[in-house]
Chain A
């Protein structure tokens, strides 16, 4: 690798030089994200945005003190700024840096090449055209496409150097059905070429028309079947909650856990949308089983927390160069022991609610471990649709959610949210609906 052709190396080298002179233990992380966004409005207006997000972060540790800082840019100046700011940030703290002998890479697939702007524009127009089915009554408000690649490098003062690359494509649709709230749909894939405009349009129209009229149901405990699009953000929130050190820890440790769960952070792949070769601290990516066999299994942990709690490290993520490594999910996958087809899931549901499409983000109260989300829903009675509800609230505690999973489908889909997540439909017993 040559510094004059690799955009990550000048900052990586200058930070490493600055830190090495002082004799501290250190880690330097540089990341480049190149993204192309395209927005196509209902009136044909097109907006394009191309961003080049590049920066470097340093962690340092010496004499019972540690610090973290980051700086934007890819030049030598950015590397020096990050190094000096990391020294300034040093406070009394245990050494957070993993030793050289635990670092490594698991190897993973190369990222797809980025989509060319012309391809992106052609895809957007093809999707818009496929959505203009006048008979459906659904109006396209906006198509949003995001394609991107990222490359990262991590070096330590003890001679470890690792590289990683990733990429993906996201398609978002804002649709106005003939009645009821506008609908937001999300599709993700390793590359735009993996998505087919006409198939997406068919699915989007069907979802947007599912629950356009009706009021809110009475507040009740009910069985609920969550479509993958509704289950995905809830799973990310659950995994993030399980990774936190909270007052809820004790309650979760004694929670009843359904044997239907098999929730895994599938970091090395090949399952899932976003495999990577190492975690946010340079530990080789490994499969981390979070919930399975009727028990909470591992908790995602950084090296520092693992030393403190006796947990296994390797669960760190870095959302960008701006953040220090944090414990959190990277590539969540729900594996189905018995992947039931949709009719069988509906038959198991018998009476309850089918939540088809999310309407807004999951809200989480960290103190109580409770969540709430809104979705479009269909009430099911005796296995048949009985009423539609454009917006229902699903509420509960993560503790209850862990015990309530009854079955999983065979219709897994992938989503690119705060982490990558791949999940089928999930059937839960007795959650609160309002």
Chain B
């Protein structure tokens, strides 16, 4: 067993194998502790606590899962008697942090702060692998915008320092835009991350199917999925099938070179595994992003505001529509630029462009390259996992304001 802590999980893994449960793939155990502080004008108005634990058993194409984590629950899921299993335990739920110690004065624009601690183990092939993942901090702003970081929360989760209020409308039509790291992270998440998930590649739902080795863009941008960046919220020591975490290069100087895979898609695509993630014990492991880290080979030293008409600070979401070959960025916070200066703030709008236009329209990357609290929680088919991002500023033409 790796990273055994005397919990009895090794003995449990061995006992699971002895049960000879037909076509057993793996057993997943998870415990989570969460606290949500609801804030009113910078003060804690109420606090909610949640203790979650559960188990899932995967056999061939079937996953059975249940809440609760003890021998009767596991025996029921395995279809055996409780006596066939040894005693085991996960770690005790930790005491939650005290928000007032971590953050004495939460910003007035915050609606809530959420802390979560997660522990999990995968039992397979007589092995028990304990998964180590960082505690998470989620901040919800008054307008519903959510920002996710590793714990503790930072007062700087709002990149431009202000929540949007009443603004002018952006002019409809083509525009050259400058994406701040938080917005660039969402673009790369949709443009590079999701389309290189193995299940989408196999289903034909990715525009990059069959394009490995091809150049996507002239900009020498490199993008990796890196679960070993433990300071970011998508980090893990091993994936949710028990495979060790490794950085995976997806885009190298603008050329597609990798994919994200769980065991099933890895076998079909001929790529390494190690990217399986589960939204909860009730969800099947699927290829998902962890922390998407982007770097440009020769970035500009400063954001080129004088070359753009609009600066986009944050997005509410982004969407890639593979069949229509278009990408949509729903802008939350943006500024009209004049002579390289922020001229006025803009009301929320949508940027739309074809994949080809976005790839060819990526003109420049600029420092500083920064961690971003967006997109944070990543939803796929209704299953939500935490992700992190590091991105530079990106100058982009070919998008249309709608």
Task: Encode A336-375 as 1/0 by CB contact (under 8 A) with B.
Answer: 0000000000000000000000011001111110101000
Task: Encode A51-72 as 1/0 by CB contact (under 8 A) with B.
Answer: 1111100000000001111111
Interface residues of B in 32-88 (CB under 8 A from A): 35, 44-54, 61-70, 72-73
Kindly state whether residue A50 has any CB partner on chain B within 8 Å.
Answer: yes
Which segment, of B244-252, B293-301, B316-324, B334-342, faces chain A?
B316-324
Kindly state whether residue B402 has any CB partner on chain A within 8 Å.
Answer: yes
Q: Are A54 and B324 in contact (CB under 8 A)?
A: no
Kindly state whether residue B163 has any CB partner on chain A within 8 Å.
Answer: yes
Kindly state whether residue A236 has any CB partner on chain B within 8 Å.
Answer: no
Within 8 Å by CB of B172, from A47, A72, A182, A219, lies A219
Q: Are A70 and B70 in contact (CB under 8 A)?
A: no
Kindly state whether residue A329 has any CB partner on chain B within 8 Å.
Answer: no
| A86 to B142 alpha-carbon distance, docked (Å) | 26
Interface residues of B in 306-325 (CB under 8 A from A): 316-317, 319, 321-324
Q: Are B65 and A176 in contact (CB under 8 A)?
A: no
Q: Are A216 and B402 in contact (CB under 8 A)?
A: yes
| A182 to B52 alpha-carbon distance, docked (Å) | 36
Highest count of chain A CB atoms <10 Å: which of B67, B93, B350, B402: B67
Kindly state whether residue B348 has any CB partner on chain A within 8 Å.
Answer: yes
Q: Which residue of chain A has its CB nearest to the CB of B173?
A: A219
List chain A residues, Cβ under 8 A from B144: 364-367
List chain B residues, Cβ under 8 A from A414: none
Q: Are A68 and B46 in contact (CB under 8 A)?
A: yes
Question: B48 to nearest A CB, angstroms?
Answer: 5
| A324 to B317 alpha-carbon distance, docked (Å) | 27
Task: Encode B166-204 as 1/0 by CB contact (under 8 A) with A.
Answer: 000000100000000000000000000000000000010
The answer to whether residues A393 and B402 also contact, given A48-B63, A363-B330, A366-B144 and a CB cut-off of 8 A, is yes
List chain A residues, Cβ under 8 A from B347: 368
| A234 to B236 alpha-carbon distance, docked (Å) | 37
List chain B residues, Cβ under 8 A from A42: 203
Q: Are B47 and A67 in contact (CB under 8 A)?
A: yes
Within 8 Å by CB of A49, from B70, B205, B282, lies B282
Kindly state whether residue B101 has any CB partner on chain A within 8 Å.
Answer: no
Question: A37 to nearest B CB, angstroms?
Answer: 9
The answer to whether residues A180 and B324 also contact, given A324-B48, A363-B316 and a CB cut-off of 8 A, is yes
Q: Are A52 and B66 in contact (CB under 8 A)?
A: yes
List chain A residues, Cβ under 8 A from B63: 47-50
Q: Are A367 and B142 in contact (CB under 8 A)?
A: yes
Kindly state whether residue B156 has any CB partner on chain A within 8 Å.
Answer: no
List chain B residues, Cβ under 8 A from A45: 61
Query: Which range contains the number of B residues in contact with the other chain?
Result: 35 or more
Q: Are A181 and B321 in contact (CB under 8 A)?
A: yes
Q: Are B323 and A365 in contact (CB under 8 A)?
A: no
Q: Are B324 and A72 in contact (CB under 8 A)?
A: no
Q: Are A368 and B68 in contact (CB under 8 A)?
A: no
| A322 to B164 alpha-carbon distance, docked (Å) | 31
The answer to whether residues A181 and B323 also contact, given A45-B61, A73-B73 and a CB cut-off of 8 A, is yes
Kindly state whether residue A277 has any CB partner on chain B within 8 Å.
Answer: no
Q: Which residue of chain A has its CB nearest to the CB of B54?
A: A72
Kindly state whether residue B165 has any CB partner on chain A within 8 Å.
Answer: yes
Kindly state whether residue A75 has any CB partner on chain B within 8 Å.
Answer: yes
Question: B160 to nearest A CB, angstroms?
Answer: 15
Kindly state whether residue A14 has any CB partner on chain B within 8 Å.
Answer: no
Q: Are A72 and B61 in contact (CB under 8 A)?
A: no
The answer to whether residues A72 and B330 also contact, given A78-B68, A367-B142, A393-B402 and a CB cut-off of 8 A, is no
Q: Are A141 and B203 in contact (CB under 8 A)?
A: yes
List chain A residues, Cβ under 8 A from B316: 363, 365
Task: Encode A188-223 as 1/0 by CB contact (under 8 A) with B.
Answer: 000000000000000000000000000010010000
List chain B residues, Cβ under 8 A from A391: 321, 324, 326
Q: Are B164 and A367 in contact (CB under 8 A)?
A: yes
List chain A residues, Cβ under 8 A from B45: 91, 93
Q: Are A367 and B165 in contact (CB under 8 A)?
A: yes
Kindly state whether residue B125 has any CB partner on chain A within 8 Å.
Answer: no
Q: Are A74 and B68 in contact (CB under 8 A)?
A: yes
| A69 to B50 alpha-carbon distance, docked (Å) | 5
Within 8 Å by CB of B62, from A48, A366, A368, A390, lies A48
Highest count of chain B CB atoms <10 Å: which of A50, A71, A72: A72
Kindly state whether residue B143 has any CB partner on chain A within 8 Å.
Answer: yes
Q: Which residue of chain A has its CB nearest to the CB of B47?
A: A89
Task: Encode B361-402 as 1/0 by CB contact (under 8 A) with A.
Answer: 000000000000000000000000000000000000000001
Within 8 Å by CB of B49, from A52, A85, A393, lies A85
Within 8 Å by CB of A41, from B72, B203, B326, lies B203
Query: Which range contains the number of A residues in contact with the other chain?
Result: 35 or more
Q: Are B51 and A176 in contact (CB under 8 A)?
A: no
Question: B214 to nearest A CB, angstroms?
Answer: 23
Q: Are A176 and B143 in contact (CB under 8 A)?
A: no
List chain A residues, Cβ under 8 A from B284: 47, 49
Question: B356 to nearest A CB, angstroms?
Answer: 16
Q: Are A82 and B51 in contact (CB under 8 A)?
A: yes
Q: Which residue of chain A has its CB nearest to the CB of B381?
A: A144
| A226 to B35 alpha-carbon distance, docked (Å) | 40
Question: B290 to nearest A CB, angstroms?
Answer: 23
| A54 to B66 alpha-carbon distance, docked (Å) | 7
Task: Encode B122-145 as 1/0 by CB contact (under 8 A) with A.
Answer: 000000000000000000001110
Q: Are B67 and A53 in contact (CB under 8 A)?
A: yes
Question: B18 to nearest A CB, angstroms?
Answer: 24
Q: Are B67 and A365 in contact (CB under 8 A)?
A: no
Q: Which residue of chain A has its CB nearest to the CB of B111?
A: A366
Question: B294 to nearest A CB, angstroms?
Answer: 25
Q: Are A68 and B163 in contact (CB under 8 A)?
A: no
Within 8 Å by CB of A91, from B47, B54, B64, lies B47
The answer to whether residues A366 and B282 also contact, given A69-B50, A91-B46, A182-B323 and a CB cut-off of 8 A, is no
Within 8 Å by CB of B51, from A46, A49, A71, A75, lies A71
Task: Encode A134-146 as 1/0 by CB contact (under 8 A) with B.
Answer: 0000000110000
Q: Are A70 and B49 in contact (CB under 8 A)?
A: yes
Kindly state whether residue A88 has any CB partner on chain B within 8 Å.
Answer: yes
List chain B residues, Cβ under 8 A from A89: 35, 46-49
Kindly state whether residue A126 has any CB partner on chain B within 8 Å.
Answer: no
Q: Which residue of chain A has its CB nearest to the CB of B48?
A: A68
Question: A373 to nearest B CB, angstroms?
Answer: 11
Q: Which residues of A contact B (CB under 8 A)?
A: 41-42, 45-55, 66-75, 77-78, 81-82, 85-86, 88-89, 91, 93, 141-142, 176, 180-182, 216, 219, 322, 324, 359-360, 363-368, 370, 372, 390-391, 393, 434
A-B contact pairs, 29 of them (CB 8 A): A47-B284, A49-B62, A49-B64, A49-B65, A50-B63, A51-B66, A68-B49, A69-B48, A70-B50, A73-B68, A74-B68, A75-B68, A75-B70, A81-B93, A82-B51, A89-B35, A141-B205, A180-B324, A324-B48, A359-B321, A363-B330, A365-B143, A365-B332, A366-B143, A367-B163, A368-B143, A368-B348, A372-B350, A391-B326
Chain A to chain B: the 4 pairs with minimum beta-carbon distance, closest first:
A73-B68, A69-B49, A367-B143, A366-B144
